[in-house]
Amino acid sequence: MTNYEPIIGIELHAELMTNSKMFCGCKVVDSVEAEPNTAVCPVCLGMPGMLPVINKQAVAFALRVALALNCTIQPHNIFARKNYFYPDLPKAYQISQYELPIGTDGWVDIQLESGEHKRIGIRRVHMEEDTGKLTHLDGGGSLVDYNRSGVPLLEIVSEPDIHSGEEARAYGLKIRQILRYLGVNSGDMEKGVLRVEPNISLRPVGTTAFGKRTELKNLNSFKALADGAAYEIARQAEILDAGGAVVQETRGWHDTKRITFSQRSKEEAEDYRYFPEPDLPPLHISDEWIVQVQAGLPELPDAKIAHYLADYGLSEYDARVLAEEREVAAWFEEAAAHFPDAKTITNWVLNNLFQLMNEHKQTIGEMQVTPTGLAELLQLVADNTLNNNTAKEVLADMFTTGESAKAIVAAKGLAQISDEDAIAALIATILDQNPNQVTAYLNGKEQLRGWFVGQIMRTSQGKANPALVNTLLTTQLAQRRLSDEA
Ligand SMILES: [Zn+2]
């Protein structure tokens, strides 16, 4: 058996979350929820004689993505017509960028599960428009919805730097994370606003020529991307090992059978007869605009993780989890600005808040606990007004009622007892009430110490300061030992 090197390049299509479409004033609507064919006009329905106008917001979003992916920006942009006929494309051509895309020669760093980092080249980022959506009916016939026709679409093409299903998945996840950070795409693959199409080929290790490749479609998740690519790698290796030849074709992914299947063969590159779109002038992107968009980019995930490691002393794992989504990161940073110990904030966010969010199925944007609210709660723990356990209960109350920590503590009388005399008196009472346990303890049954602590905490309704209980209990038990021995 030959050892093969898998070569994978990925084309990723992302709809841009602009208010209106790429070349007309129609609203961009949710393609799953909106009534079909309600966000359409003569331009996006391809009526003859209608003229497209470029959506500046879409170009600004494309520019953000190209800059975030470290691309060289093309100042002189030309739109082209990509000609083909299909029922979801009423003009019989798609306006796209061909020879002069907005961004070229970029890169993105990915991290694999082993912790290894890898840089993947970005060949090009270009602007185009989405097509309509076809629904094929079981009984025959198809329905077409043009709400999606003309929605701004960005195509991001990687270099063939990806060598396994796992790397493909890590790359897809990273691009999605960046798009979400930039606020240009929701990343919702189930709604089709983000689509990935890997092309996969094998070549014997040590050789340089590319083998025949297959392209995968219908991948509706990053797991499907990883599994589909792994399946194709194994399938092609088997064909090559048996002395066969891989057919260059488009293959679909069957999500329940977990296999790929042939859709159509693609012997030659399709001839789309590209030519410059005569209805649109060249689009010039000025240096000033590039500088302005660059300055407006948010801190991106890799930079944020580095910043958390250096400035907050977090572990790499914690930093990654906090930086995974921009909203969570922003929430954490605001809380950290109001409380001096970022590690304590991190623990409370990752353990307690995430658990509450899970239980109540709420996102960080939906929940009622604010960053300053958590900081106030942790301040009550820091100054010994609350112990950790009571603070957890208070947080759960804050989560469901939206009340502040101080208000809940006052209303429920939860403030911790840190008065030494009061606690000493409480301990003395418990020890007096349980002479048999005291004797047993003094005779060596040391595990009874935990039982005493439990009694004291229960009698104080959990409000006794645990550190003080520990110290004072040690003192009183020692005194009783002395009086016992005397
Ligand atoms: Zn329209």
Give the model's pLDDT for residue 123.
98
Give the model's pLDDT for residue 1.
65
CA 387 to ligand 1 center in whole angstroms: 60
Please name the residues in contact with 50: beta carbons below 8 A apart, sequence gap of 6 or more.
24, 42, 43
Give the model's pLDDT for residue 124.
97
Provide the pairing of β-strand 93-97 with 283-284.
unpaired
CA 482 to ligand 1 center in whole angstroms: 91
Mean pLDDT of the residues in the chain: 93
CA 146 to ligand 1 center in whole angstroms: 9
CA 23 to ligand 1 center in whole angstroms: 7
CA 255 to ligand 1 center in whole angstroms: 34
CA 56 to ligand 1 center in whole angstroms: 15
CA 329 to ligand 1 center in whole angstroms: 37
135 residue type, one letter: T
CA 52 to ligand 1 center in whole angstroms: 9
CA 398 to ligand 1 center in whole angstroms: 46
CA 178 to ligand 1 center in whole angstroms: 28
3 residue type, one letter: N
* Vertex 214: Cα angle to 212 and 220 (nearest 5): 160
CA 46 to ligand 1 center in whole angstroms: 9
Provide the CA 294 distance to its chain's centre, in angstroms. Answer: 22
310 residue type, one letter: A
Provide the pairing of β-strand 93-97 with 79-83.
antiparallel
CA 277 to ligand 1 center in whole angstroms: 18
Please name the residues in contact with 481: beta carbons below 8 A apart, sequence gap of 6 or more.
442
CA 148 to ligand 1 center in whole angstroms: 9
CA 133 to ligand 1 center in whole angstroms: 15
CA 41 to ligand 1 center in whole angstroms: 4
The secondary structure of 226-242 as a DSSP string is HHHHHHHHHHHHHHHHT
CA 423 to ligand 1 center in whole angstroms: 74
- Burial class from Cβ neighbours inside 10 Å (0-12, 13-18, 19+) for residue 66 reads buried
- Extract the residue ranges of the chain whose pLDDT is less than 50: none
Give the model's pLDDT for residue 379.
95
> pLDDT (tens digit, 9 = 90+) per residue, 291-318?
999 999 999 999 999 999 999 999 999 9
Q: Alpha-carbon distance 47 to 25, whole Å?
A: 15
CA 26 to ligand 1 center in whole angstroms: 4
CA 297 to ligand 1 center in whole angstroms: 29
CA 247 to ligand 1 center in whole angstroms: 40
Q: Alpha-carbon distance 176 to 108, whole Å?
A: 12
CA 24 to ligand 1 center in whole angstroms: 5
CA 40 to ligand 1 center in whole angstroms: 4
Domain ranges within the chain, ordered by starting residue: 4-289, 299-412, 420-485
CA 434 to ligand 1 center in whole angstroms: 82
Closest-CA residue to 279 (of 102, 476, 22): 22
Q: Alpha-carbon distance 20 to 26, whole Å?
A: 5
CATH 1.10.10.410 for the 420-485 domain, yes or no: yes
Provide the CA 252 distance to its chain's centre, in angstroms. Answer: 26
CA 461 to ligand 1 center in whole angstroms: 65
β-partners of residue 155 are: 13, 126
Q: Alpha-carbon distance 319 to 132, whole Å?
A: 41
CA 152 to ligand 1 center in whole angstroms: 11
**CB under 5 Å of ion ligand 1: residues:** 24, 26, 41, 43-44
CA 28 to ligand 1 center in whole angstroms: 9
Q: Is the C-alpha dihedral spanning 100, 102, 107, 108 positive or negative? A: negative
